[in-house]
Amino acid sequence: MATTTPSTRPSEPSLNATVDACRELIAARFPGASDRGAAAMLLADGTVLTGTAPDATNPSVEVCHETGPYCEAFRLSQPVVASVCLHRSPDGAHRVLSPCGVCRERLAVYGADVLVAVPAPAAVDKVRWITLREALPHYWMLAFPEELHGW
């Protein structure tokens, strides 16, 4: 079973560094102005991991940008405390993509206090951090509280 996250909120500088790392990966890996994205995760020990989704001929085998850092966090045995996914548009804007349902489900093993980036109201390029509890108000595992850790 995964270790749950500490209940203390990560610092603003560490959250900002996570967003910056995501933007930096997009710029370094995909120079230019094409539609591209990446994700970054902040771990409990302060490590920031980044990842991006490989191109696939068959879209049915594509993975989320979060998949790489999620697997790497597990390899390092470090809980994920925050996750951000950004999409750079050709105009240079970085749209904030809230985690999809699969990624929310994956992050849930680290507890309800994991922070996930969602677009700020009326500003799709501004990060707003919410807890996984807020992102999953009716998480299905709440029916099994004896098996749920960190919720």
Closer of 56 and 100 to Zn ion (Cβ): 100
CB of 122 to Zn ion, least distance (A): 24
Residue 133 CA: distances (Å) to CA of 77, 112, 116, 138, 141: 22, 5, 10, 8, 12
b/e string for 14-27 if b means 16 or more Cβ within 10 A? ebebbbebbbebbe
In the complex with Zn ion, the residue whose CB is nearer, 33 or 100, is 100
Alpha-carbon span 95 to 109, nearest angstrom: 26
In the region spanning residues 2 to 61, those forming contacts with Zn ion, defined by CB under 5 A, are: none
Residue from 64, 108, 112, 127 that binds Zn ion (CB under 5 A)? Answer: 64
Which residue among 100, 123, 130, 142 contacts Zn ion (CB under 5 A)? Answer: 100
Partnered with residue 129 across adjacent β-strands are: 117
When the beta carbons of 43 and 116 are compared against Zn ion, the nearer one is 116
Number of residues written out for the chain: 151
**CB-wise, 64 or 114, nearer to Zn ion?**
64
Strands (E), the chain: 36-43, 48-51, 80-88, 94-96, 115-120, 123-131
Stretch that binds Zn ion, among 45-53, 73-81, 87-95, 100-108 (CB under 5 A): 100-108
Q: Does 103 bind Zn ion (CB under 5 A)?
A: yes
Residues making contact with Zn ion (CB under 5 A): 64, 100, 102-103
